[in-house]
Structure 1
Amino acid sequence: MIKKLSELAEKSSYINPELYNKYEVKRGLRDINGRGVLTGLTEIGEVHSYIIKDEEIVPEPGKLFYRGIDVEEIVNGFLEDSRHGFEEVIYLLLFGSLPNNEMLGNFNSLLSDLRTLPKSFVRDIILKAPSKDVMNMLSRSVLALYSYDDSADGLSIDNILRQSLELIARFPLLAVYSYQAYSHYHQGNSLYIHSPKREYSTAENILHMLRPNSNFTQIEARLLDLALVLHAEHGGGNNSTFTTHVVTSSGTDTYSAISAALGSLKGPRHGGANIKVVQMFDDVKANIKDWKNDDEVSNYLTKILNKEAFDKSGLIYGMGHAVYSVSDPRAEILRSHCKALAVDKGLEDEFDLYFRIEKLAKKVIAEERKIYKGVSANVDFYSGFVYKMLDLPQELLTPIFAIARISGWSAHRIEEIVNKGKIIRPAYKSISDRVEYVNLKNR
């Protein structure tokens, strides 16, 4: 019965692809040149990848700006001071400027105060019904927190900022504890629930709460902190942030809006892409004998593109981006900093394989797909490798993304509410024929 109904549903849902061109539908809210359709304004994040010269698009090396500041400069700033940067990036995204030393200290103390969950929440919400998917568990936990909030539906900026800061501080606990529940109840491992430490940064607390012995090195914590910084924000047009704007514009509560954003981020075309990169590289390493042989590597990449290898999707995961073509600045920054950890972990050969595939994949994709505008590695290409070096389980890769990106989501939610925009409701054209109703007895 389900099979037959499925066939009917599929048949009745099909739309001739030619009609999208006929009616000038910008699928994916992108024009024929691949540029995003302008749907809003923001001061939070900017993704720069091209200039207009003589009325033509000229691709440039990618740049990412948080509140007008080049992310590369932000990264260089906190790394030169040998400190973590994610917390000051949260402050920057929410409040529009970088904090001074006193402001940052007070903000860190506030986040430490908020790194707690309601009494019995872990037992009643996380441990009693553990999910096999940590993203779904994270979303469910966010919705459950609505019940613990006496002002859950309040839309004043004071209230939304309070909720946002609480969620930003709580996300590492929700994600790691959800994974620990999954690991225990579904994989039979020992259960570890470590309380966060006040003196630790977000990155340090993630490693502390995740590992049975709570041990980690500073090079590990700094690289995870860097990854959080680079995933914190990516403009208003990325799928999950746009989802935040869309759902917020309806006037709903913070918990519903953030849960919707989590649902978007979970998808393999968005936040779930880093998992596919890790899986693809496991497949590559298993099928290529000589990692340093360019011909052998190129031939296998061609098989992946031709749907003859890996998951037969025809995609080299981690290569290409909807906006960046010359380079993704996040990938550039991660690559430049992850080699030190690769050497420390004895994974230098694997790092070299990533670098080799990045270079060769550009050529293979250009030749096989006739794409000459440029294809570059995106942030997922190296973030998956970073997380693997940190011994993070695959089930936590997308939740780590969420731990970073909720800072951007929160800033965009506040921006949507402050500017009192209309409910977001784009148009869809119906192409169905008019049909007369037929009585049941005559069907």
Structure 2
Amino acid sequence: MGNVENTLFDVTDEILELADLCATNNAIDKELYTKYEVKRGLRDVNGKGVLAGLTSISDIIATKVVDGVEVPTAGSLYYRGYNIKDLVNGFLKAKHYGFEEITYLLLFGDLPTEKQLENFQNTLTERRSLPPNFVRDVIMKAPSRDMMNSLSRSILNLYSYDAKADDTSIPNVLRQSLNLISQFPMMMVYGYHAYNYRKGEDLFIYAPKPGLSTAENILMMLRENRKYTKLEARILDMALVLHMDHGGGNNSTFTTHVVTSSGTDTYSTMAAAMASLKGPKHGGANIKVTNMFEDMKTVVKDWEDKDEVRKYLVDLLEKKAFDKSGLIYGMGHAIYSVSDPRAEFFKKFVKQLAKEKGFEKEYNLYETVEMMAPEVIGEKRKIYKGVNANVDFYSGLVYHMLDLPPALYTPIFATARIVGWSAHRLEELKNVDKIIRPAYKALCPHKDYIKLEDR
């Protein structure tokens, strides 16, 4: 039995042989994509997305028309018509937390009054609980080393506790969404502690405190001494707001629309979105950026030597360094070409944090890479639009300076983005009654069946 169990997790010679067959028979000539005008990634040659839907939730501006020609411009992000810069500057200047306020905006379309915000905060506070024994029976059982998988399993298990799990009416889906938004920080932090406990570390499970913001509760539940600074909570709160939504076409939100269109339940939909966000080309990019820089700091002996840094970046593109993917993580975006407004916000706080926490040398290295990478990419690759630092470039460094564990970098993204997913699910349910089903052209020729003994 032991050998059979080991075989389940081994890539055997037989699997390698079958994998070669699989790869050979699945290969499609890239020229055929051009011939049949297939928009790979649902994007044209310039990276512009194929129009697949309509949304009133958020908008991204990355170009402007000058003399009848569309040209790149500094990026702007709007939530329900409000510029993200105005929203973030608004709650930062007023010195109150923004997550709850902007959650209200994305879900309901208007900025709340003071009374509406107070009532909504109370609604979220009331829902910051998990079903009886859920921590013991679900989160503590077989904890995953990857918190995104742990969270996805917890989401799917909540289905079993919901008597109206399959009810897709707007009121019921809103109830489920508010529950998940409130429960997400708990499932994330408890899953992290459960895995560490299995590794022999102390276990501490703290209940969220009424009166604390979402960001404050995350930090309080995460740390054994329950302590955090106001600056830490403010920056984490800002990070959550910046990650809440990014249009209907980003991979995980489009997944939300696609899966919602099938008529399935909220828990299955959110688990599917989580699977998308986990990917290193999407939400998982922030940890990839961090790991890439950790590798860079060991390979590059003099962080101030621009020639040495350039060589490392060239090696990345030539698949000689780090994970040999040929990517400089954190650089480039599907839409932005001049600047990512979210990255600009992060950069302001990175500099401030770096100075306070003694990370100025690391910050200077990040800034050097941000300046140099577009030039190196332009020399090595054929690009159709500008390349700029995206939100993931600095977010990992911010989280590192906030002393957040790397295992939670992408789950924190998910804790924010579930607000956007909820808003888009509600929008899809309200407006669209057709299942999303794009076309694929079949290339395999039809064949006559051959009996087994004649093959």
TM-score (normalizing by structure 2): 0.95
Tell me the percent identity: 60
2:133 is matched with 120
CA-based RMSD of the aligned residues comes to 1.2
1: CA distance between counterparts of 2:257 and 2:24? 33
Contact residue 326 and residue 374 of structure 1 kept, 8 A: yes
Q: How many residues align?
A: 442
1:82 is matched with 95
2: CA distance between counterparts of 1:288 and 1:33? 34
Map Cα deviations across residues 10-47 of structure 1 (whole Å, 9 max, x no partner).
Answer: 22211111111111100100012210000000000111
2: CA distance between counterparts of 1:153 and 1:311? 42
2: CA distance between counterparts of 1:32 and 1:18? 13
How big is the shift at 1:55?
4.8
The answer to whether structure 1 residue 418 and structure 2 residue 430 are counterparts is: yes
The answer to whether structure 1 residue 326 and structure 2 residue 335 are counterparts is: no
1:8 is matched with 21
Partner residue of 1:37 out of 46, 50, 55 = 50
1: CA distance between counterparts of 2:130 and 2:73? 45
1:67 is matched with 80
2:181 is matched with 168
1:387 is matched with 399
Map Cα deviations across residues 380-420 of structure 1 (whole Å, 9 max, x no partner).
Answer: 00101011111111111111110000000000000000003
2: CA distance between counterparts of 1:227 and 1:25? 36
Contact residue 223 and residue 338 of structure 1 kept, 8 A: no
1:129 is matched with 142
Contact residue 64 and residue 329 of structure 1 kept, 8 A: yes
Contact residue 58 and residue 81 of structure 2 kept, 8 A: yes
Contact residue 46 and residue 384 of structure 2 kept, 8 A: no
1: CA distance between counterparts of 2:360 and 2:183? 35
Between 366-375 and 428-437, the greater mean CA deviation after superposition = 366-375
1:240-279 correspondence to structure 2 within 5 Å? 240-279=252-291
1:231 is matched with 243
Contact residue 45 and residue 384 of structure 2 kept, 8 A: no
How big is the shift at 1:372?
7.1
TM-score (normalizing by structure 1): 0.98
2: CA distance between counterparts of 1:102 and 1:341? 34
1: CA distance between counterparts of 2:381 and 2:432? 44
How big is the shift at 1:370?
4.7
2:32 is matched with 19
Contact residue 118 and residue 148 of structure 1 kept, 8 A: yes
2: CA distance between counterparts of 1:371 and 1:437? 46
The answer to whether structure 1 residue 156 and structure 2 residue 190 are counterparts is: no
1: CA distance between counterparts of 2:114 and 2:364? 39
How big is the shift at 1:345?
1.4
2: CA distance between counterparts of 1:134 and 1:165? 21
- Structure 1 pair 24–372 and aligned structure 2 pair: CA distance change class (3 A): closer
Contact residue 366 and residue 372 of structure 1 kept, 8 A: no
1:310 is matched with 322
The answer to whether structure 1 residue 188 and structure 2 residue 210 are counterparts is: no
- Stretches of structure 2 lacking an aligned partner (at least 5 in a row): 1-13
Q: Which amino acid aligns with 2:243?
A: H
2: CA distance between counterparts of 1:52 and 1:29? 23
Contact residue 207 and residue 221 of structure 1 kept, 8 A: yes
Q: Secondary structure of the equivalent of 1:107?
A: helix
The answer to whether structure 1 residue 438 and structure 2 residue 450 are counterparts is: yes
Q: Which amino acid aligns with 1:28?
A: G
How big is the shift at 1:342?
1.7
Map Cα deviations across residues 189-233 of structure 1 (whole Å, 9 max, x no partner).
Answer: 111211111111111111111111111111111111111000000
Q: Secondary structure of the equivalent of 2:72?
A: strand
Partner residue of 2:159 out of 142, 146, 149 = 146
1: CA distance between counterparts of 2:449 and 2:382? 50
